[in-house]
Amino acid sequence: MAFTTILSAQTLAEHLDDPNWLVIDARFTLDDEQWGRNEYERAHIPGAIYADLGTDLSGPVIPGKTGRRPLPDIATFARTLSDWGVGAGTQVVVYDASGGLMAASRVWWMLRWAGHDAVAVLDGGWTSWTKEGRPVSSDAVQRQPAEFPLTERPQLFASLEDVDRVRLDPEWAVFDSRSKEGFHGGGVYHDPVRGHIPGARLANRADTLDASGHFRSPEELRAHYLGLLGDVPPSQTIFYCGSGVTAAQNLVALAHAGLGDAKHYIGSWSEWILDPARPVEL
């Protein structure tokens, strides 16, 4: 049985020696982009490889054209997955230090965008793994390359033009995944313009987690999203955030709730604001 949304630490512990499983460490912080790699080298889940948000999971930033974390070319990403040893039968488990918010859920979404369903986010992430006293390692990890069967799913992706076209359409829903404070232009910003896309509603990605940093139950998440979506189907729903990373938490949680797939606007706020003619709201 493939795991396709969330995976418990206990289940991962039972499969640490399974050669058909791959663990990916995606720890990252915007304040120090070397922090995640440094932490990985200090200690990681045994057998895990490191995925760097700035290099492995993002393409080149084009000033004035892309947001802060554009997608890599999908063929390039497929080669990266092959180098990591991801084949058709590989179960991937990805974790970070923030319950999936930075940037494990981005890895989950990117693998699904590339056509790989057997990928799950570790519930509670690195924090829960270590609090439970589970094994860690500092050993270097070398995986055997595999042939990754790329099957792009463009229906999971929303462009800037898509967002602009539907943001005021009542048959669609566009959600900002940042906090209420950030939605209204407050708090810490990594972009020069504050506010949100007019027509967008708020779906704070942190609301997917409980007080312990674990995902809320599928039943709770289902009620949460049905309350947000109303009559709009997930297939006509778009999530964005500041730079296309943390919005993926909503996409994992939506799938975990059994509601299927929404779309991810990767360019997000950092792309939207590049043209001063585009409207903004606070």
Write out the catalytic residue numbers: 241
Using alpha carbons, select from 106, 99, 66 the residue that is nearest to residue 239: 106
Taking the C-alpha atoms of 131, 132, 135 and 137 in order, what is their torsion angle to the nearest 10 degrees? -20
* 109 Cα distance to chain centroid: 6
For residue 99, report the phi and psi dihedrals to the nearest 5 degrees.
65, 15
Classify 257 in phi/psi space as left (phi over 0), alpha (psi -120 to 50) or beta. alpha
Structure tokens that stand for 154 in this block: 């463009």
- ∠127-130-135 over CA atoms, to 5°? 145
Strands (E), 55-200: 91-95, 119-122, 173-176
Radius of gyration of the chain (CA): 18
Sequence letter at residue 277: A
Cis peptide bond prior to 103, omega within 30° of 0: yes
Structure tokens that stand for 51 in this block: 């995925």
Classify 150 in phi/psi space as left (phi over 0), alpha (psi -120 to 50) or beta. beta
